[in-house]
Amino acid sequence: MRTLGVPRDARRMSTLVVSPSHHPLVGSVPVPSDKSVGHRALLFGAIAEGTTHIEGFAPGGDNLSTAQALRAMGVDIAIEGASAIVKGVGLYGLVAPTASLDCGNSGTTMRLLSGLLAAQDFKCSLHGDESLSRRPMMRVLGPLRSRGALVDGTPHPTKQGEITAPLSIGPLTGDSYLGPIEYENPVASAQVKSALLLSGLYAHGVTLVREPHVSRDHTERMLHAMGAPLETFGTLVRLDPAGWDGKLAAQKLVVPGDVSAAAFLLVAAQLVSGSRVTVRHVGTNPTRTGILEILRDMQAGVHVEAKGEVGGEPVAEVHLHQTPTLVARMIGGETVTRAIDEVPIACALAARASGRTRIRDAAELRVKESDRLATMATVLRAFGVKCEELPDGIDIEGTDAPLRAAVVESHGDHRIAMTAAVLGLIADGPTRIRDADCITTSFPKFVGTLRALGAEVSVEA
């Protein structure tokens, strides 16, 4: 098997043109560093004591939004090559930003910062791009308010009673303080959980968060390793700052590769006949590996070779040797929580499976960077794949036939753009994905990586 370097991509990608793949995809490639772990390494490093060294850091635009916001509050963050150095200012060392903090396209930046900033003695505001300015923020602001935070937002343009960005947060001054909270979240959400835990570091009293299934637990792992007084019991997380010295210890962290980015390459390899692809250094935290189980369950040729742990997170080489038959399955329940960002690319897999794949319990997809159930249904139909959109999921009829080459809009959603690119590999002619710049938010070298594996992809400005 070839081991390939990945060429640099052009900075701006307007339209991607993907040609049908007449040859197998072959090679061994890296992926960008895990976006979720990257946000947390920057944020927690910023409020730690001492210098946090982050290795293996290959960030997309979302992580850079977090870094910029922290810099605007006086945190010295140097990013060079694949390393970042964050000079922690301690729990109480952030300074008031002089302008509104720009969270770009990143919901994680906005929601985690809301929790952190709700506890500060200065006022600030947060804004984002068009997509972020439609995403629901009440899920974070509601519980933060109930513990005494001064947080507000902008009435949602279409959902009555909902609040969205821009947000206005704080200040917590005089004798106001954050109190204890026992919060039973109706949806599994790592962003809500993390915002409450971050505010809990500063609170008078215990923070208890329970969720229906365990959402990604990077916050718990990292905060615990840094010395925060936090424990988990199944779906319950408890943080009790009583008796704690209020100090997070800076760490040397290695960020694993992003399994959410790897998913596009693994599914691409399963769709293109004869492919043999390895993705190196992939994070395989069990709260994130739903897509690997979906691949295995649908009889794709996936093999996970464990390679130990980095920074408290398991990593592996993930191999995909294409198998001739894919079988449709039911995908629902807690698997969806553990594959929440991978449902779009799982839809691409379903397009090639024999039978009807049923995806359920996925209503959360409607409030991601786009309404991903609606945008995926549009994309699948554009390729000639039959599907039925449901309130909390989608049914997809798999087909053996070449897909119809399509012109697809990304709707500004990186995961929709990349899923369409993967489907384009098995279409009957060139596929065009418009408004594909958004891919840089999570996978800046996506095009280069596909090319390194042998795919024919070009970029039109």
Q: Which is nearer to ligand S3P, 137 or 310 (CB)?
A: 137
Cβ count within 10 A of residue 441: 25
Q: What are phi and psi of 382, to 5 degrees?
A: -60, -30
Q: Closest approach of Cβ 375 to ligand S3P, in Å?
A: 15
Asked if residue 114 binds ligand S3P (CB under 6 A), the reply is no
- Give burial (CB, 10 Å; 0-12/13-18/19+) of 255: buried
Give the residue, chosen from 135, 156, 216, 352, that forms a contact with ligand S3P under the rule CB under 6 A.
216
Contact 352, 398 (CB under 8 A): yes
Q: Minimum distance from CB of 164 to ligand S3P (Å)? A: 14
Task: List binders of ligand S3P among 304-363 (CB under 6 A).
Answer: 340-341
Decide if 346 contacts 393 (C-beta within 8 A).
no
Q: How far is the CB of 260 from ligand S3P (least distance, A)?
A: 7
User: Which residue from 65, 66, 120, 191 is in contact with ligand S3P, where contact means CB under 6 A?
Assistant: 191
The DSSP string of 61-110 is: HHHHHHHHHHHTTT-EEEEETTEEEEE---TT-----SS-EE-TT-HHHH
215 three-class SS: coil
Active-site hit among 341, 413, 435, 437: 341
Side-chain half-sphere exposure of 388, counting CA atoms within 13 A = 7
Are 163 and 154 within 8 A, CB to CB? yes
Write down the least CB distance from residue 346 to ligand S3P, Å.
14
Stretch that binds ligand S3P, among 186-194, 226-234, 351-359, 383-391 (CB under 6 A): 186-194
Decide: is 131 part of the binding site for ligand S3P (CB under 6 A): no
How many residues of this chain bind ligand S3P (CB under 6 A)? 11
Nearest residue (CB) to ligand S3P, 120 versus 189: 189
Quote the CA–CA distance of 287 and 114 in Å, as a whole number: 23
What's the burial of 400, exposed, middle or buried (CB within 10 Å: 0-12/13-18/19+)? exposed
Q: Binding ligand S3P by CB under 6 A: which of 21, 33, 36, 63?
A: 36
190 binds ligand S3P (CB under 6 A): yes
* Identified binder of ligand S3P from the candidate list 21, 108, 114, 199, rule CB under 6 A: 108
> Within a 10 A sphere around the Cβ of 79, how many other Cβ atoms?
16
Residue 91 C-beta: closest distance to ligand S3P, Å: 21
CB contact at 8 A, 368 and 379: no
Residue least distant from ligand S3P (Cβ): 36
Q: How far is the CB of 276 from ligand S3P (least distance, A)?
A: 29
Q: Let me know if 341 is a catalytic residue.
A: yes
Residue given tokens 């039973």 in the structure block: 184
So which residues are the catalytic ones? 341
Residues of the shown chain interacting with ligand S3P in the complex, contacts defined by CB under 6 A: 36, 39, 108, 189-191, 194, 215-216, 340-341
